[in-house]
Amino acid sequence: MRPRRSRGQLAGLLAVLVLISGCVTVYQPLVSLQRPVAIDPGLPNFEGQRVLVRCFPGEYLDAQEATTLCKHVRRLFTNQGAQVTAVVPRGAVSVATDAKPDRPDLIIDLQARLLQEDNNGLLWIVSGLSLTLIPAITDTTFAQDVTIRDADGALLLSDTLQGRFVRYFGFGTWAVNATLDVLVREPSEKLTGDVAEHDFSRDFYRQLSQLAFHARMRDRVMHGFPSSPPAHAQPGTHP
């Protein structure tokens, strides 16, 4: 009799099959990510502004992923002329990626949440038995909460950006789409490679820049016009 494979061996075999198979990721912007923006992130929109960015780890992003996000957001606003500090709070401890700035003009808090995840284990087994010709599918919907405050902690703006990633793991699906990407599709329509991640980053950073710009304008309206006593009419003059 042939020895039966253990569960560990089967899991290892499925892992190898996944590694040698391709992955096609489809990105779908949902709430707020598809809104048009007026701001150009390539311009110095925040020249001279001091910005504190805090990326909170959670159920969707761990501490390392939150650190990576903060570095990207810091680069985003630095390229727009701001002096940026990125901080990743971990419980009672805040880990800064650079020196703490002076009193910030804007405080941007980012926290991602997992809204829904569909990952059918049976489909993974079927995919493995078919040598990934039948793709395994994961469907993830997430939200990115954005809160922007002024230097005193007063709320200027809050919003939630939602997106969806559908990933197809399988050599057959990848091979067909890779061929179509080369022969038929325009660069903006390709599905293989890091196109989905690039499209999401484009939408997310544009929306974040627009939100920060709105918050900056609101802060100026709220604090940029100091009150002064009304001028009194001089004797012999009319108001």
Least confident of 86-100, 141-155, 200-214: 86-100
Check residue 194 and report its DSSP letter: T
Angle formed at CA 119 by CA 115 and CA 125, multiple of 5 degrees: 175
Tell me: pLDDT of 237 over 80.
Answer: no
| Residue 103 scores a pLDDT above 50 | yes
**pLDDT for 96:** 52
What's the pLDDT band for 101 if we cut at 50, 70, 90? low
Q: What would the CATH number be for the domain defined by 12-32+41-219? A: 3.30.160
Average pLDDT for 149-170: 93
Task: Give the pLDDT of residue 134.
Answer: 84
Structural contact between residues 65 and 73, judged by C-beta atoms closer than 8 angstroms: no
**Res 223 pLDDT > 80:** no
CA distances from 32 to 29, 85, 137, 220 (A): 8, 26, 25, 24
Unique residue bearing structure tokens 């198979």: 21
> Quick one: pLDDT band at residue 175, thresholds 50, 70, 90?
confident
pLDDT at position 184 is 81
Q: What is the pLDDT of residues 180-220, one digit of tens each?
A: 778 888 877 777 778 889 999 999 999 999 999 999 999 98
Q: Which two tokens stand for residue 21?
A: 């198979």
Tens-place pLDDT, residues 127-142: 788 877 788 899 999 9
Contact present, 85 and 104 (Cβ < 8 Å) = yes
- Burial of 37 from C-beta contacts in 10 A (0-12 / 13-18 / 19+): middle
Q: Which residue has the tokens 């099959």?
A: 17
CA distance 10 to 210: 49
Greater pLDDT, 176 or 26: 26
pLDDT > 90: percent of the chain: 51
Q: Where are the domains of the chain?
A: 12-32+41-219
Q: Provide the CB-side half-sphere exposure for 205 (13 A, CA).
A: 21
- Read off the pLDDT of each residue in 172-178 and give the average, rounded to a whole number: 78
Can you tell me the distance from the alpha carbon of 184 to that of 83, in angstroms, rounded to the nearest whole number? 44
Average pLDDT, the chain: 82
Residue 168 burial (C-beta neighbours within 10 Å; 0-12, 13-18, 19+): buried
